[in-house]
């Protein structure tokens, strides 16, 4: 009987302890569930505020908020051209900066005639290091720039291993993807601070959220832009300056012309015009956004993937793209 009594007491003590731990685990589970529900609700609200409400006629008056003139680098093709058109559609005068004079003249004339705004252009080759900036600074000195779009950028011919890239490619990436944005910002920002309003848009990439092998140098340059954008926003937000980091996924432009599938518009891959229409609507609303609701979903998923899974997936997919580029059928 003594043994039975001891077992009964032991059982009751174990049951009491288990009950306590079960209740504690239930509280942890409830807290985790509530936290995730709140996070999901906030993400949903953010998506609606950024990508739905502006499309319902609640767009920001960009001219009143920032000024009459916008500078767009790399504005003769792809995202830059489409973004300039969207700004012009909202009544903003455009200054295009690129290296091809013939394209600049054609795009500038088309925007002016289509949207009835003033347009100007500056011929500049950003791959030339410090060479183009004195002329750019001189050309902009009498203009009150309200918006600067640092769009100019370059990608390697196709995904490839870092040691296969030439030194020219490395320097061009630094000059075009990084130096252009920070130097153009340095030229334009003092005028914005003086009039206490302005916006700077830096075109980064969704690759900034994770290290992506075979696209190393491009991804690193876009990570730099994302960091630069967020940090400088904190520096100058109190002075009336809004700085936005756009982190798009793949867009059907000449940058991905090495692959016919990536260069073709699909559900997840918008045209430059479609992307710009959404991205401009987020200006003034979010300092860091993919700019397009479908890309926002992809960006959130990429952030939540374990890094090892992202890396393996990137190696596999980029390896396929590299193979297709080297051995086209």
Q: In whole angstroms, what is the distance from residue 214 CA to residue 228 CA?
A: 23
Cα 298 to its chain centre, rounded Å, is: 12
With the CA atoms of 201, 206, 212 and 216 taken in that order, what torsion angle do they form, in degrees rounded to the nearest 10?
A: -20
Q: In 181-291, where do the E strands start and end?
A: 198-203, 241-246, 288-289
Q: CA angle, 155 as apex, 250 and 173 as ends, to 5°?
A: 135
Q: In whole angstroms, what is the distance from residue 180 CA to residue 173 CA?
A: 10
| Burial 56-93, CB ≥16 within 10 A → b, else e | eeeebebbebbbbbbbbbbbbbbbbbbbbbbbbebebb
Write out the two tokens for 149.
Answer: 């779009």
DSSP reduced 3-state for 297: helix
Q: In whole angstroms, what is the distance from residue 14 CA to residue 5 CA?
A: 14
The CB-side HSE value for 291 (13 A sphere, CA atoms) comes to 27
Residue of 97, 111, 195, 194 lying closest to 149 (CA atoms): 97
- 218 classed as catalytic: yes
Q: Are 280 and 241 in contact (CB under 8 A)?
A: no
Q: Which backbone phi and psi does 245 adopt, to 5 degrees? A: -105, 115
Other C-beta atoms closer than 10 Å to the C-beta of 302 total 19
Sheet holding 288-289, edge to edge: 119-123, 93-98, 69-73, 145-150, 198-203, 241-246, 288-289
In the numeric block, the tokens 């479908």 are attached to 294
Instruction: Indicate which residue of 133, 218, 224, 275 is catalytic.
Output: 218
Active-site residues, by number, are 218
């Amino acid at each position: 009987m003594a043994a039975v009594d001891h077992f009964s007491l032991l059982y009751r003590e174990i049951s009491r302890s288990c009950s306590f731990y079960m209740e504690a685990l239930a509280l942890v589970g409830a807290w985790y569930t509530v936290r995730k529900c709140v996070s999901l609700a906030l993400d949903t609200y953010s998506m609606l505020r950024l990508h739905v409400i502006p499309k319902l006629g609640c767009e920001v008056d960009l001219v009143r908020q920032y000024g009459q003139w916008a500078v767009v680098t790399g504005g003769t093709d792809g995202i830059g051209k489409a973004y300039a058109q969207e700004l012009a559609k909202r009544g903003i005068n455009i200054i295009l900066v690129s290296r091809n004079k013939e394209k600049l003249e054609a795009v500038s004339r088309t925007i002016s005639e289509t949207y009835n705004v003033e347009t100007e252009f500056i011929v500049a080759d950003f791959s030339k290091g410090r060479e183009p900036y004195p002329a750019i600074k001189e050309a902009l000195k009498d203009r009150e720039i309200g918006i600067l779009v640092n769009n100019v950028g370059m990608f390697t011919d196709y995904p490839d291993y870092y040691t296969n890239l030439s030194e020219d490619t490395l320097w061009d990436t630094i000059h075009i993807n990084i130096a252009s944005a920070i130097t153009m910002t340095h030229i334009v920002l003092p005028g914005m601070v003086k009039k206490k309003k302005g916006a700077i848009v830096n075109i980064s990439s969704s690759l900034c959220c994770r290290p992506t092998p075979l696209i190393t140098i491009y991804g690193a340059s876009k990570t730099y832009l994302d960091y630069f954008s967020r940090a400088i926003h904190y520096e100058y937000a109190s002075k009336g300056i809004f700085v936005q980091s756009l982190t798009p996924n793949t867009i059907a432009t000449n940058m991905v012309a090495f692959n016919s599938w990536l260069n073709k518009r699909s559900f997840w891959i918008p045209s430059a015009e479609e992307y710009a229409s959404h991205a401009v609507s987020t200006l003034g609303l979010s300092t860091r956004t993919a700019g397009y609701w479908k890309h926002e979903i992809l960006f959130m998923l990429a952030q939540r993937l374990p890094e090892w899974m992202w890396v393996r997936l990137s190696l596999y997919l980029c390896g396929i793209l590299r193979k297709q580029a080297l051995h086209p059928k």
